[in-house]
Structure 1
């Protein structure tokens, strides 16, 4: 493995260690023993869930390519996953508010395990089924666990500020440390032990099964809207009214869609971007380096959120601008550095520059996750939290599907340029959100018929 990878990994690790060791009292939040126990239980489960997810990440594209599928066919498989998340995942995820968030988390485990099992087959239709199941699981991961945490946090009477501590720790561990270890573990299974590219998916199933057992034995159930007369369509209408009646929720949804759409497109693009001439790159180690950068971002975010200033709505404007600039690097290197024509070999000079830019982007991702979680906990009404969060995923899934459908029609640099533009637009919307952040929260967001029904006794003679 080239010295460059070790240097980048070591430098990021040193910065993360320095940040964590230099935390002062003003960077920490004093909590209770009961909260610590609750937080640690959630962090354990969340880390296991993320291990099941991250183990698969670096090898999805690679596995499909070893089965003999080209970039266009792989793009269609990815489209199936995002399309499934948009269509089926939105419905299944929204049921969490009605049927229970704990039940949704268990469903995530079962669905994702089934998705992992399909990776053993080289048949395109079986792999397509796996992507559909994976899309449903992704929606549940992105809404069910956070919804359960927020509801349970307030049900137990914990301070609202303590939520930011759980969020930042969850991202630091689940999206940072666990992701790094998952990448290294996957690299061990595939490269060192030569168990094949399907082995990380088998390991992921084991971690998901362990996490499901802990959920079933230690978690209590909680719900969104407890009323018995609301069907799924009514829930959707209520969520739509909530978004339409509060500009902050609408802005938050647009910002999330733009950022996550760019992020998921990046997940598809980084492998071909770093090996345009089939260069030999250590997928697992590079992935771990990206996750270490994300860990750096979440560590920095925990410091920011422990203080009253600057507010999350303010500093996220800068984060989006930096992330937009970082994804312009592949375009700049394409013009400034002469592309290599040699097939195979190690990573090129332009590839090294792009790795640094991608690490910067991943650091922004590490700041984004706990920050967006905090804003969602402040602005999204509890009654339809999972439903609204899955509404947010609809436009991002459409965006990613469009990009992947045209993956053969546009050069990689064009797609990176699109992502950069969307991230810059997110910074503009974030600026607007910061301007109206202190606007009084909309009290009544129920559908119009329910409002009229509730108003009749007041208007009666």
Structure 2
């Protein structure tokens, strides 16, 4: 059994190398010939920010990935907890992340993303320590800290990167490239982490040994953030130092309500990432309960190698994304500051009488499109802005549809190897999804409320995961994955009919709520 998964890992690694070489030395070279004439930021500046971000991002994601293959096994097998208790621990983590999300976003915008990033390393290290003890209150405390840390991890690093890129006038292509590389680096790191975690468990016979290694990486991440990241934060709108600035939260929510494209972004994030988090809880028991494709199962599944296969599949997805960006030949001269959400009000927003509101009739669509067309002719950067959003909206819709199909196959086909490959396909879709979603957020959400709004999107996400886990997944695994597939199909349709069609509209994300 181990031999099968080792061979699949070798095949996936070889495929990733081939795709990477083709993208780097053929597609990217061809694309750069038609778009390198003009840049907003010097290549040295772009590469410098890319190195600083990716170095830290790789360390902290490596720490997170080391925990991935065996977090279920630590609770279920090492500590001997019933599956219902394991589900409650997962629920506590997601619920804490949902409650903490608005606080984390506001704190990051107010007090600085670098400072909150360092706080993440400390709290996540404490999580790795507490999970070592077979004491239920300490395990619950660890999940509380883990949920809080997750809320930071999934919003603050990206906010730091996008704000830094905006301040340096990066082009759409430059930011897309860094986001694609981040997804690639995360996937490669996760692949290595899966193999390392498998070896650690084999040597120590303790599932929790992977958390010790994770804690060591987090301490390295703490030092790295302190030394190489500069501080940035959202625009300061108040001198108050409240624990939670409700005015900022209210402004962010008003912006989301005013722009239906942001509502679609939030819907997609809730459904896709919610499905992914449920998958994290379900993939181990789902594969363990499958029918062996050949012979009978005589040994435990090599979870570390399987996890590495999933992560290298995500690597393939990120390479596919960067290849699509290279082939699309997005205008590298269109920076965020030219046409993005942080653009000036006079440049990026039509007169109030011409703004398309969600409650307006279809006639406003034509007026908004005409306004956008006039802007595009007078300023080519707006045309590039529209094309970038349209491309990523189409990719978002396609990824949701493909993910739904993969989950449906895993539910219908009970054979182990077929389920394994369906899960690999789902992970490949995740490799495309993260840079796509990051780019859309970067184009549509203003710097002032970036972390706050990203955290607001996580509130319904964590509610969705919490409710799903509380339904009793041990007896309803097939139903949960089937429901996720149905919701992903709905998200694909909504994105195609709303976000793609609305990309010619005005970027209302730069407006503040009145």
Give your verdict on TM over 0.5. Answer: yes
> In the aligned structure 2, how far is the partner of 1:271 from the partner of 1:97?
37
Give the alignment of 1:375-454 within 5 angstroms: 375-408=440-473, 410-431=475-496, 432-442=498-508, 445-448=511-514
Tell me what 2:272 maps to: 259
Give the Å deviation of 1:354: 0.2
Q: Tell whether 2:383 aligns with 1:321.
A: no
Moved more, 145-154 or 299-308: 299-308
Q: Tell whether 2:20 aligns with 1:20.
A: yes
Tell me what 1:292 maps to: 312
> In the aligned structure 1, how far is the partner of 2:509 from the partner of 2:311?
40
Q: Name structure 1 gaps, 5 residues minimum.
A: 335-349, 449-461
Change (3 A) 1:410 1:90: farther
Tell me what 2:197 maps to: 186
> In the aligned structure 2, how far is the partner of 1:408 from the partner of 1:440?
43
Q: TM-score, normalised by structure 2?
A: 0.81
Matched residue of 1:438: which SS? coil
Change (3 A) 1:41 1:444: closer
- Selected match of 2:119 from 107, 121, 130: 107
- Selected match of 2:250 from 210, 213, 237: 237
The CA RMSD measured in Å over matched residues stands at 1.7
Q: TM-score, normalised by structure 1?
A: 0.90
What CA deviation, in whole Å up to 9, does each residue of 1:82-117 have, x standing for no partner?
A: 000011233123210111111111111111001111
Change (3 A) 1:248 1:67: same
- Selected match of 2:206 from 168, 188, 196: 196
- Selected match of 2:81 from 47, 69, 85: 69
Change (3 A) 1:444 1:358: closer
Tell me what 2:372 maps to: none
> In the aligned structure 1, how far is the partner of 2:58 from the partner of 2:428?
19
What CA deviation, in whole Å up to 9, does each residue of 1:280-321 have, x standing for no partner?
A: 101111000000000000000011123248811113222211
Please tell me whether the aligned partners of residues 305 and 312 of structure 1 are also in contact (alpha carbons under 8 angstroms). Answer: no
Moved more, 415-424 or 31-40: 31-40
Please tell me whether the aligned partners of residues 324 and 421 of structure 1 are also in contact (alpha carbons under 8 angstroms). Answer: yes
Q: Tell whether 2:242 aligns with 1:162.
A: no
What is the number of residues matched between the two proteins? 431
Please tell me whether the aligned partners of residues 241 and 445 of structure 1 are also in contact (alpha carbons under 8 angstroms). Answer: no
Please tell me whether the aligned partners of residues 154 and 160 of structure 1 are also in contact (alpha carbons under 8 angstroms). Answer: no
> In the aligned structure 1, how far is the partner of 2:214 from the partner of 2:509?
43
Displaced runs of 4 or more, over 6 A: none
Please tell me whether the aligned partners of residues 445 and 510 of structure 2 are also in contact (alpha carbons under 8 angstroms). Answer: no
